[in-house]
Chains A and B, each alone.
Chain A
């Protein structure tokens, strides 16, 4: 078990290496001189030269890659051109908001998506099943920010129950913290929820035909127990996989959601950095977020072994 975890961990190293190089190369594959683009329209020749020297753009490409990789390994993501602060500090300041947002969205999506998927599969062909399927298709097609505005309009502007925008850290009071996070988390969760519900239904349908399910029902076990303990447990692998893969959707959605609700998270940081052409920040966020994605999928891989002892790598 431990050896397998270690082996999976080692396998992520080349992937992260490619991510680091790709994130770095972004600066170079795009046409034009990055220093000119970063400096903006009103830069002087001196400004451009300074930026070029600061980013090491005056070095040959392979030297630049080596320097960048060396710094990344040491946890140094460079300094922001705009604020002059280390990128890791900026990310640290904003990470908590995004972590809370995605965590809540994930809880909502799994908490609702899995049960409705199970029920839909159990009552296949019923109006309930059809309703879940309609939700799954339309939820997946829903533009996240538009849904956010609809929720804001209904619950914040018209009903006045919740704040329109903004954020209070947890230290600023649990009530205020939660009330600012409910709508964004709900907005963000819908796409993911739809994905999970669809996968749960499909995976459950495959399992519910099995003989042991019929046996379990036949010996008079309560449907709830059969569905959860017998069926869902055996249908869980694809569901766990989609939770891991779909995390990319959640992160992408978080960028947009934070913009709608003016949350000071990593998404805002990225969008601001893009407007200001603050390239070290963009690279840093990209690298960190991809690292989290790889990590989550590593956890999923390890969960496989826990959920299904037959799997050995």
Chain B
């Protein structure tokens, strides 16, 4: 419940960023560089005199978009592939070896390498985060398909002459909704975290867009002078990821998913 409340708050702050006592996130006031937090500048200002509070609120947009998009796209692609791979025995052995290999590459490194070959943009960040995630979804889907394939209801459907696509869609997919929903929540949380890692390392969201990772990457140089540039976006990031993970745990208990 707390998780949901925090999440709604972050969602609202991203959506309503322009009206929550903010200014222009890019506006530079050179006279007010590196100002500590005060009544006017709640979270202080950065090395260009930009308002950290405003930028942090706008940063929520990138994080939420990336989180939601990565979860949805990975889910859609992974489920489709997982259903097909799980149902056709001949495909299964080969494809699972391939998946094992892909999953042996640590996700962040894979995403970093992909970003190195693409131009920095929010869309490409999403692509770079989806690719390492897909084999993990496939694995979950495949495991369920393998056990459900032997289920009496599938056998009965088959005896009645129901075709394979129909079986996958109407007999197997519904049983997957609960575990996949939980999985999607965790994927969303980790995607938000990874977007911040990529941006922080200079291989994520383009620097002109205020994302939490970017704000902190710029604040890195001023950690001794202006700690607030890093403190506040990081706090938002940590709380958002925590909130989504809590929602995931709640869903898992509610839907009674093992895991």
Contacts and interface: CB of A to CB of B under 8 A. Distances in A.
Q: How many B residues touch the partner, as a band?
A: 35 or more
A216 interface: no
A230 interface: no
Given A256-B108, A274-B202, A279-B117, 7 more contacts: A19-B104, A145-B200, A145-B216, A255-B112, A255-B197, A271-B203, A293-B106
Interface stretch (B11-19, B27-35, B43-51, B234-242): B234-242
B106 A252 contact: yes
Contact of A259 (B116, B201, B238, B241): B201
Contacts of B9: none
18 contacts: A17-B101, A19-B102, A21-B101, A22-B105, A26-B113, A27-B117, A141-B238, A157-B224, A252-B108, A252-B197, A255-B109, A256-B197, A270-B109, A271-B202, A271-B203, A290-B104, A293-B104, A293-B106
A255 B216 contact: no
A66 interface: no
Interface string A31-59: 11010010000000000000000000000
A141 B106 contact: no
Contacts of A146: 216, 230, 234-235, 237-238
A110 B113 CA distance: 30
A274 B237 contact: no
Contacts of B189: 141
A178 interface: no
A289 interface: yes
Given A34-B117, A137-B249, A279-B116, A19 B105 contact: yes
B65 interface: no
A18 B101 contact: yes
A138 interface: yes
B101 A141 contact: no
A100 interface: no
Contact of B238 (A14, A23, A142): A142
A227 interface: no
Interface in A113-150: 137-138, 140-146, 149-150
Contacts of A279: 116-117
Q: Which of A16, A21, A143, A293 has the most CB of B within 10 A?
A: A143
B175 interface: no
A259 B200 contact: yes
A133 B238 CA distance: 16
A208 interface: no
B109 A289 contact: yes
Interface in B90-149: 97-98, 100-102, 104-110, 112-118
B104 A294 contact: yes
Interface of A: 14-19, 21-23, 26-27, 30-32, 34, 37, 137-138, 140-146, 149-150, 152-153, 157, 164, 248-249, 251-252, 255-256, 259-260, 270-271, 273-275, 277, 279, 282-283, 285-286, 289-290, 293-294
A19 B101 contact: yes
Interface in B189-232: 189, 193, 196-197, 200-203, 216, 220, 223-224, 227, 230-231
Given A137-B249, A259-B201, A153 B104 contact: no
A26 B200 contact: no
A297 to B, nearest CB: 8
Contacts of B109: 251-252, 255, 270, 285-286, 289
B117 A26 contact: yes
Interface in B147-185: none
Contacts of B115: 274
Nearest to A285: B109
A143 B223 contact: no
A289 B242 CA distance: 28
Contact of B223 (A22, A152, A252, A289): A152
Q: Which of A138, A145, A289 has the most CB of B within 10 A?
A: A145
B97 to A, nearest CB: 5
B116 A137 contact: no
B245 interface: yes
B85 interface: no
B196 A143 contact: yes
